[in-house]
Amino acid sequence: MDIEALRHSASHIMAEAVKKLYPKAKLGIGPAIKDGFYYDFDNPTTFTPEDLSKIESEMKKIIKQNSPFIRQEVSKEEAIAMFKKLGEDYKVKLLDEIKDPKVSIYKSGDFVDLCKGPHVKSTGELKHFKLLSIAGAYWHGIETNPMLERIYGTAFLSKEELNKFLIMREELKKCDHRRLGKDLDLFSFHEKVGAGLVLYHPNGALLRSIIEDYIKKEHLKRGYKFVRGPHVLKSDIWVQSGHYDYYRKNMYFFKIEGSEFAVKPMNCPAHILVYKSKKRSYKELPLRFFELGDVYRHEKSGVLHGLLRVRGFTQDDAHIFCLRDQAEAETVKVIDFVIETLKVFGFNDFSVELSTKPKDHIGNDKDWEEATNSLKKALEIKGLKYEINEGEGAFYGPKIDIKLKDVFGREWQCATIQCDFALPERFDLAYTDKDGKNKRPIMLHRVILGSIERFLGALIEHYGGAFPLWLCPTQVMIIPITDKQNDYTDGIYKKLVENDIRVEIDLRAEKMQRKIRDAQMQKIPYMLIVGEKEEKAKKVAVRSREKGDEGVQEIDVFLKDLQKEIKQKKGGGLVRIF
């Protein structure tokens, strides 16, 4: 049995159940999706979580009837008349958008729906399903359209698969970065600041800084030069780059003294102007410019999702200006950089897509073909399997997307490599070749982590907030049992700080067990318990996040082991692979 057909059928059974329970509800669309299905409804009253159990019960009745799914082909006019009579306004709107003279409908029992299919043979084939949640969804995803209610569900071929999915779903809730962001005091959002704009708290800002320090150091090792552009640029530059025409709807514009400016959604124009600031020789190429650049893009409020989809974010952005015959080798180096970085952060699996020329693009077809072939050859050199994503390249060039896979098997778009012949042409970039003539370089646009915000969100969920030691904002919490140990505790604190360990002391007037529990809730890797016995022995009692009580140790021994673990960049994360 085809799982997509089963899930598509489940969405129809759910729609039939909703119509029986809530006759005034109007039907939107109900496709199968990854891991499940959904259906959109326009209902006079709002659905509640309690309604889901009622709908499930009604679905079971429909399943028990084992009604066959019957496909019929009718004229578009017949279908419009039928759905007008049923009062299904959204189905009529869908039909108005269809150009074909004939359409297909599916019937099961008394229920009829506009649908291409496929479906299973009968309702009785759906045995293992669960309704999951309710969300708002604009009709056709357009904010000016009516807001409908979307009911999500899932279905599987076996009870075991369903149970496994539901267990994973509960684990995902525990690892939700929005929940952990609050619990671990990492970040927040505030309506007075604006949707999709992040406020980093001390722990979150420090975690970001650790990640950024690592990535900056790695860029310097690979020969990148640091540059920095302004947050706003005059609109003229965006007209020249093509962003004004092709990306305008995602940009923020404002005027000062009669001139229009835009908050930057990309870093490339500023990097291009740095390149143009003086004459360049072929001996300088490849020239790699890097910036941790803050960018702002107008995302619809309906798609904003914690750190994973924001309006203001930072990219570890670089632009490589190179000769045409250097592009392939530079792309290979970037791919190596990406894979090495993912592994350091604990992501050992990924997928690759190659996106080709979109319908709306700049540049000529010959250059697009050469750019695409260059990216293909780099992937082939690395022996990487990849999917072709037809027509989804950037407007200025094809791109490789490397999507990391987290411990739950979910994919996250982070790294990208884009090969661009068009912007060097638009900005009249040049270098002096060995023959003394001016020639045109090409550009590689690339990010390794991508959006720092999205990468951080993925990292939080991958580890469930229990980061490896080298990433933890607080690596060690010292817990003195009484105030009498404060002087000894201060000495331990200073020794650890002098050795670059991130350490705090819990001096609250709370019981020791409460302090230990709070440190565990904060997912701090190590606790040092210091009492009278430890002070006399000049030692510490060590508790770890993973192992619990590790006994009494000399501070120098503990420090040496700590430094070794930090250097290895391993450990952390009570993660499980499903």
Catalytic residue among 19, 219, 243, 445: 445
What tokens were used for 318?
A: 């670089």
Catalytic residue among 91, 297, 357, 454: 297
Active site residue 311: no
What are φ and ψ of residue 521, in 5° steps?
A: -65, -30
Alpha-carbon span 478 to 485, nearest angstrom: 11
Catalytic residue among 115, 175, 268, 322: 268
Active site residue 268: yes
Q: At what angle do helices 365-381 and 327-344 cross, to 10 degrees?
A: 50
Tell me the sheet residues that pair with 321: 287, 443
CA-nearest of 535, 540, 543, 487 to 515 is 543
Active site residue 317: yes
Catalytic residue among 399, 446, 539, 543: 399
Active site residue 414: no
Q: Which long-range contacts link 360-366 to residues 24+ away (Cβ below 8 Å)?
A: 360/246, 360/395, 361/393, 361/395, 361/396, 361/422, 362/242, 362/246, 362/395, 362/396, 362/422, 362/426, 363/396, 363/397, 363/421, 363/422, 363/425
Active site residue 523: no
CA-nearest of 293, 289, 292, 296 to 318 is 289
Catalytic residue among 150, 288, 319, 361: 319
- DSSP result, 258-274: TEEEEE-S-SHHHHHHH
Task: Give Cα 69 to chain centroid, integer Å.
Answer: 38
User: Which amino acid, residue 287?
Assistant: L
Active site residue 51: no
Active site residue 175: no
Catalytic residue among 113, 208, 243, 315: 315
Q: Is 21 helix (H, G, I), strand (E, B) or coil?
A: helix
The number of helices, as runs of H, and strands, as runs of E, in the chain is 18, 28
Q: Which residues are catalytic?
A: 268, 297, 315, 317, 319, 399, 445
